Amino acid sequence: MQNLLKKFNIGVIILFISFTINAQHLNKLGKIDIDEIPSMPDFRIEKIKGEFKVIKDSLLLDGNTFFQIPDGYITSLRVVNDEKDYIKHYRLDGTLLVTIKSDKIVNLKVSEKGDQLAFHNGGNIVLVNLNGYKIDTLADSYIYEFVEQQHLIYYHPEGKSIYYKKEKIDCEHYPNQFIEYKGKILVITKQYIYELAGNSLLNLHEFNGEFFDAKIISDKFYFVDKEQKRKSESFSLYKTTDFNMFILVDRIDDLNR
């Protein structure tokens, strides 16, 4: 009990300081606002003669979504008619290497290393190796992410398991997202933040209510804990760097929205 009181007292002291000096805060929806001037992208997307184009320097590429990778570019387009969605892989000089077509392309992700991409085709995760274009069809899940620059981690809801490299990790709670932070792979569910440790999950934090949002800003991990009581709800923004000390940064409820 004494240890709990000591931690609580420290938290209260930091709470008053952080409200006045911390730049991060919550918007009226309870999401994390990033208090910084966004950098201007070095490309733009325009509709030219009825077709979406990505303008990058002197290049004109097809699509309305753009990723730059070390040796080229990835663009994509989702259509609303009977045509198939597509992904296009270009060299740095704008030479088109390949076009990948699918009935649906949802939640497109590209590895930081730039050698793989993944998307959901309406039925499964599709993993594409950009060196040779080998295609693997994985589980039906929208929860997946590239970590450690090139490795895909995903959740298989039917088997209640996380798949990462060659490991299968049991996970009863459906993950909201995977985040890589300070060399740790975090698995965030509605109730918990876990660290992936080998083929098991290490519990780092339990929410008072439920998970609502998370961002890494200036090497600090921020998350929102949403608590609901009858007809009222509140959102508390915390930050941490080690998952031992959690600092309350901002809080909104029905009275101060």
User: Is 9 inside any structural domain?
Assistant: yes
C-alpha closest to that of 224 among 182, 173, 177, 184: 177
For residue 255, give its domain range.
1-39+207-257
Rounded distance between C-alpha atoms, residue 6 and residue 42, angstroms? 49
User: Is 94 inside any structural domain?
Assistant: no
Mean pLDDT of 173-200: 96
Mean pLDDT of the chain: 89
User: Is 17 inside any structural domain?
Assistant: yes
User: Is 35 inside any structural domain?
Assistant: yes
In this structure, are residues 201 and 194 in contact, taking their beta carbons and an 8 Å threshold?
A: yes
Mean pLDDT of 11-27: 56
Decide which of 5 and 239 is more confident.
239
Q: List pLDDT tens digits, range 68-81.
A: 999 999 999 988 77
Residue-level pLDDT at 22: 53
pLDDT at residue 50 greater than cutoff 70: yes
* Overall number of domains in the chain: 1
Residue-level pLDDT at 41: 83
DSSP code string of the chain: -HHHHHHHHHHHHHHHHHHHH---EE-TTSPEE--SPPPPPSEEEEEETTEEEEEETTEEEESSEEEEETTEEEEEE--SSSSPEEEEEEETTS-EEEEEEES--EEEEE-TTSSEEEEE-SSSEEEEETTT--EEE--S-S-EEEETTTEEEEEETTTTEEEETTEEEE-SSPEEEEEEETTEEEEEESSEEEEEETTEEEEEEE-SSEEEEEEEETTEEEEEEEEEETTEEEEEEEEESSSS--EEEEEEETT--
In this structure, are residues 55 and 48 in contact, taking their beta carbons and an 8 Å threshold?
A: no
User: Is 232 inside any structural domain?
Assistant: yes
User: Is 59 inside any structural domain?
Assistant: no
User: Is 150 inside any structural domain?
Assistant: no
pLDDT at residue 6 greater than cutoff 70: no
User: Is 249 inside any structural domain?
Assistant: yes
89 CB-near residues (< 8 Å, 6+ apart): 72, 73, 74, 96, 97, 98, 99, 100, 130
**Using 50, 70 and 90 to split pLDDT, how confident is the model at 144?**
very high
Residue-level pLDDT at 112: 95
pLDDT at residue 107 greater than cutoff 60: yes
Residue-level pLDDT at 20: 45
pLDDT at residue 8 greater than cutoff 90: no
Residue-level pLDDT at 251: 95
Mean pLDDT of 17-35: 75
Q: List pLDDT tens digits, range 116-134.
A: 999 999 999 999 999 999 9
